Amino acid sequence: MWYIYTVTINIMEKQALNLINLYNERGEKHGYWEFYYENGRLMWKGNLVNGEREGYWEEYYSHGQLMSKGHWVNGNRDGYCEVYHRNGQLSWKGHWVNGECIEEKEQTELTMDEIAKRFGAPVEQLKIKK
């Protein structure tokens, strides 16, 4: 409990400096945001524009290891993306355009169903276009 309190204080200190977790005039998340697991570790970080992911994002497992990193445009994956196993080993990388995977560069031990679950996208959107 004390560790979570310490993290909360750090977040509040950053908010006081107007660095993270801000809202626009419509009450939508806007600007640089960080979200944390209950254990105090970083869950994900990146920029939001009018409540939508925008730009470079990183997501982490609850034990602190990087889960994925990639670019977003208007709330959709767009550009290069990498996904990692819980042990930190690269499991998949590919290229997305407007939320659709158009090129799979490498896949190790992950099925398309597992990738779809990680990204919250229907499997049919993950089909590779050649």
What is the distance between the alpha carbons of residues 115 and 83, in angstroms, rounded to a whole number? Answer: 9
| Ranges of each domain in the chain | 2-126
Q: Could you tell me which residues are beta bridge partners of residue 54?
A: 47
What is the distance between the alpha carbons of residues 42 and 66, in angstroms, rounded to a whole number? Answer: 10
Q: In a 3-state reduction of DSSP, which class is residue 37?
A: coil
Q: Could you tell me which residues are beta bridge partners of residue 49?
A: 52
CA-closest candidate to residue 99, choices 66, 68, 127: 127
- What is the chain's pLDDT, residue by residue, as a tens digit (130 residues)? 333 333 444 555 544 444 678 888 999 999 999 999 999 999 999 999 999 999 999 999 999 999 999 999 999 999 999 999 999 999 888 888 988 888 776 655 556 666 666 666 665 655 544 4
- The residue with tokens 């229907």 is 122
Domain spanning 2-126, CATH class: mainly beta
pLDDT (0 to 100) of residue 81: 92
Rounded to two decimals, the pTM is 0.67
